[in-house]
Amino acid sequence: MHLPLSDMYNQPDERNLLDQMRQGVIGQPLDRPEGPLKVSGTATYAAEWRIDGCVEGVLVLAGIAQGQVSKIDRDAVLSREGVIAVIADPAMTRRPAQGMAAKAPQQDAAKVEYFGQPVALVVAQTFEQARDAALALPIYYTDAEGDPVPFDPAAPGVKVEAPSSSKPVEGGDLDQAMQDAAFSVDVEYDTPGHASAAMEPHATIAQWQGDSLILHGSYQMLSYNVKEIADCLGLSTDKVRIIAPYVGGGFGSKLGITHEAVAAALAARGLGRPVRVVMSRQQVFQTVIRRSETRQRVRLAADPAGRLIGLGHEALVSNLPGEKFAEPVTQATEFLYGGENRLLKVEVVRISRLTAGSVRAPGEAVGMQVLEAAMDELAEKIGIDPIELRKRNLPAEVPVAGTPYSSRMLTQALEQGAEAFGWSARQDRPCQTRDGDWWIGMGVASAARVNMMVPAKAKVTLTADGSAVVESDQTDIGTGSYAILGQIAGEMLGLPMSRVDVKLGDTVHPAGAGSGGSFGAISTGSAVMYACEAIRAKLAKALGCDADALVLKDGMASGGNAPARPLRDLLNGEDIAETGTIKPGKTAKSFSQASYGAFFAEVAVHAFTGEVRVRRMTGAFGFGRVLNAKTARSQCLGGMVWGIGSALTEELAFDTRDGHLVNHDLAEYHVPVHADVPAIEVILLEERDAAASPLQAKGVGELGICGAAGAIANAVYNACGVRVRSFPLTLDKILPALPDPFASGADTAL
């Protein structure tokens, strides 16, 4: 056994250490260790910390989409009972930066760029007093206009820009391929904006100790968030500590700091006492990032055998002027299917709606659902099974770039998923199956999501009593970080889970990856594994065997000719502490790394009303090693539930008169609830991928949404013959195109 020469992941670590261990906890569907705290209400979330002398802040949001704040009439509320201050500061109202360590743009506090942008903070003794004063605070505007820029590149005054974050992919001659094609599809789809709708609203308690700032908050990537807040307030990063052991969901909305954090920090500094700012659900909707709406043109050109010779995927997305983030709609299209003649491109329409940013599986979530619906259209034109079409179009290497795949379980996912789902019962033409007043149909879609590694550190201490402590500022946003990091350490050090303690979510610990882009588990997990490997080397030396020969199980060490000894003996009263590090290296470029899968959906479409019900879904996924079969399955389930929302209900609706977000709560923004979610089957395909990470695992957190809505849309078409190219597929879009409910086939029994 050798230690990695460099912490850069420059070549696949083929040693596959985890499979050589003996404890047998890795991959097991173990419960989350923090679960009992969460279900008993004793896990402390951001707003729940009790801090002496803490006062309450409530944000005040702009009531116009574009213009200037000319006056904030503080005096009108300062005399109210309990009101302490009204604060308006440029740093507080500017947008959260979207790029790593990017300087937030300097701008005038008084400039309003979207309806709902925070313009002031009211601080009072109690939350109710602060809220009351915030609602009453008079704000005056000049230059107020309505929604000046709709999501329409043809509208007057609209700017459309190439994003700085991605370049088009071009190869061959797509137009010619479309002309030469035996079968082709040229379609335009649109998808609406989405809210992340994390269960825990954004909240921060800020507390200064001298010139140092402590934030209790709800964030996804703490060491990055420290940089952001330090940048915002002009502090050095060592003056900022963030504590976030429990985070009630993020889905991208907590990747970056949000306004309440900056407002709380500024207010606490100004007032010399701790300040808590909790956003209301409506404020979260109005001010925290959204997923961009998209308009996507897909062109597919196939030869007579159903092989793609051309592939076009062009998307319009939106964001505020100056924002770097552009929903990377074509990210998976780049490597998923063949078609040497291609054009993949994203352009950004600049509009006055709240900042667009990463929302679970940015790019694939909306790109895959459209690509997969278009593939269904092509399969129908060719007259082949949609699964067969996909299998025929898996390239040997990434088109244009020529990069090899690290591993790809797409064929297996399609085949095993089809078997489990009962795909063979599907009718290949629409309107063939009825169950009473409902048309029944089945659909399939591929899943794909890029795998990413980001720099991560973790410290592991094997204490003298033979227990392990794992420490990292890695967050657990409901995904299972506590569980899987403990399992990796337990497996590597031969300890049962009862003897592994995982401490996360505090920047006093080494900087983990954070939770984002499905990279937390593989990045911070690899750091934990390397830290344990270093500990193993020391244990082997103490025992007197080669590191390769060391066997650790249930707190006992053995190996070579050395007699087995309890770890506690071997440690001889000393702790062993090691810090593991991993950074992305050459493997990130030399291999195309992605997690894959397949979705199957059966839907019922009401023959008279067009209402769609998802009856059942199956997902089969291959994402390298499964670190914990329960938490991985839950991620896939959650993604598929969002797929149902994307397909049928979720849509941010902006008022075109004044730009305000109309459905800014969970009553009006419809996420699937229990009654909308049928039995969902998840199949986990074991795989090893050494190029992706030393754990041989890939990301899974976002995979379950990447294409799921496409399978549902395809099932809707298969049921009733209505192809809706505008998500979500609400009944008003389906109803006008429904066939005669009494037409032939209507009496087919299910």
What's the CA gap between 452 and 448, in Å, rounded?
13
CB 129 within 8 A of CB 83: yes
Q: Is 517 in the site for ligand MOS (CB under 6 A)?
A: yes
Neighbour count for residue 39 (Cβ, 10 Å): 9
Neighbour count for residue 676 (Cβ, 10 Å): 16
Which residue spans within 154-202 are E strands per DSSP?
160-161, 169-171, 183-191, 194-195
Q: Is 363 in the site for ligand MOS (CB under 6 A)?
A: no
Binding mask 197-236 for ligand MOS (x = CB under 6 A): -----------------------x----------------
Min dist. Cβ of residue 650 to ligand MOS (A): 15
Q: Judge whether 81 counts as a catalytic residue.
A: no
Interface segment toward ligand MOS; rule CB under 6 A; list 74-82, 346-354, 358-366, 497-505 = 358-366
- From first CA to last CA, the distance across the chain in angstroms is 59
Q: Is 358 in the site for ligand MOS (CB under 6 A)?
A: yes
State which residue, 139 or 359, has the beta carbon closest to ligand MOS: 359
Q: Is 520 in the site for ligand MOS (CB under 6 A)?
A: no
Q: Which of 194, 276, 313, 360 binds ligand MOS (CB under 6 A)?
A: 360
State which residue, 279 or 605, has the beta carbon closest to ligand MOS: 279
CB 302 within 8 A of CB 309: yes
Min dist. Cβ of residue 537 to ligand MOS (A): 34
Q: Is 359 in the site for ligand MOS (CB under 6 A)?
A: yes
State which residue, 178 or 356, has the beta carbon closest to ligand MOS: 356
| Residue 391: alpha-carbon gap to chain centroid | 27
Min dist. Cβ of residue 514 to ligand MOS (A): 9
Helix (H, G, I), strand (E, B) or coil at 473: coil
What's the CA gap between 201 and 280, in Å, rounded?
7
DSSP class per residue in 20-54: H-SS--TB--PPPTTHHHHHTT-S--GGG---TT-
Q: Is 255 in the site for ligand MOS (CB under 6 A)?
A: yes
Interface segment toward ligand MOS; rule CB under 6 A; list 101-109, 271-279, 359-367, 432-440 = 359-367
State which residue, 320 or 454, has the beta carbon closest to ligand MOS: 454
Min dist. Cβ of residue 691 to ligand MOS (A): 21
State which residue, 12 or 517, has the beta carbon closest to ligand MOS: 517
Interface segment toward ligand MOS; rule CB under 6 A; list 182-190, 353-361, 466-474, 559-567 = 353-361
Catalytic residue among 260, 651, 687, 702: 702
State which residue, 452 or 570, has the beta carbon closest to ligand MOS: 452
State which residue, 359 or 378, has the beta carbon closest to ligand MOS: 359
CB 223 within 8 A of CB 251: no
Q: Is 646 in the site for ligand MOS (CB under 6 A)?
A: no
User: What is the signed CA dihedral for 540, 542, 545, 550, rounded to 10 degrees?
Assistant: -30
Which residue's Cβ lies closest to ligand MOS? 252
State which residue, 418 or 697, has the beta carbon closest to ligand MOS: 697
CB 252 within 8 A of CB 219: no
Neighbour count for residue 68 (Cβ, 10 Å): 16
Q: Is 295 in the site for ligand MOS (CB under 6 A)?
A: no
Distances (CA, A) of 195 to 203, 349, 720: 17, 19, 29
Min dist. Cβ of residue 516 to ligand MOS (A): 4
The Cα angle at residue 704 between residues 41 and 607, in degrees rounded to 5: 105
Min dist. Cβ of residue 169 to ligand MOS (A): 22
State which residue, 365 or 697, has the beta carbon closest to ligand MOS: 365
Interface segment toward ligand MOS; rule CB under 6 A; list 92-100, 250-258, 603-611, 684-692 = 250-258
Binding mask 457-496 for ligand MOS (x = CB under 6 A): ----------------------------------------
DSSP class per residue in 685-715: EP---TTT-TT-B---TTGGGTTHHHHHHHH
Min dist. Cβ of residue 656 to ligand MOS (A): 28
State which residue, 516 or 645, has the beta carbon closest to ligand MOS: 516
Q: Are strands 612-622 and 679-685 parallel, antiparallel or unpaired?
A: parallel
Min dist. Cβ of residue 222 to ligand MOS (A): 13
Residues 6+ apart with CB under 8 A from 452: 517, 518, 519, 584, 588, 593, 699
Min dist. Cβ of residue 332 to ligand MOS (A): 15
Min dist. Cβ of residue 250 to ligand MOS (A): 5
What's the CA gap between 600 and 446, in Å, rounded?
9
What's the CA gap between 525 and 538, in Å, rounded?
20
Q: Which of 4, 339, 362, 466 binds ligand MOS (CB under 6 A)?
A: 362
Min dist. Cβ of residue 746 to ligand MOS (A): 43
What's the CA gap between 645 and 386, in Å, rounded?
23
Peptide bond preceding 728 in cis form (omega within 30 of 0): yes
Interface segment toward ligand MOS; rule CB under 6 A; list 248-256, 539-547, 608-616, 647-655 = 248-256
State which residue, 331 or 433, has the beta carbon closest to ligand MOS: 331
In 3D, which of 505, 500, 471, 503 has the Cα closest to residue 486?
500
Q: Is 643 in the site for ligand MOS (CB under 6 A)?
A: no
Applying CB under 6 A, the site for ligand MOS has a residue count of 11
Distances (CA, A) of 466 to 34, 288, 496, 497, 522: 22, 45, 11, 12, 26
Q: Could you say which DSSP state residue 251 is in? A: T
Q: Is 252 in the site for ligand MOS (CB under 6 A)?
A: yes
Q: Is 250 in the site for ligand MOS (CB under 6 A)?
A: yes
Interface segment toward ligand MOS; rule CB under 6 A; list 143-151, 356-364, 478-486, 529-537 = 356-364
What's the CA gap between 702 and 482, in Å, rounded?
18
In 3D, which of 389, 393, 299, 319 has the Cα closest to residue 359?
319
- Which residues participate in catalysis according to the annotation? 702
Binding site for ligand MOS (CB under 6 A): 220, 250-252, 255, 358-360, 362, 516-517
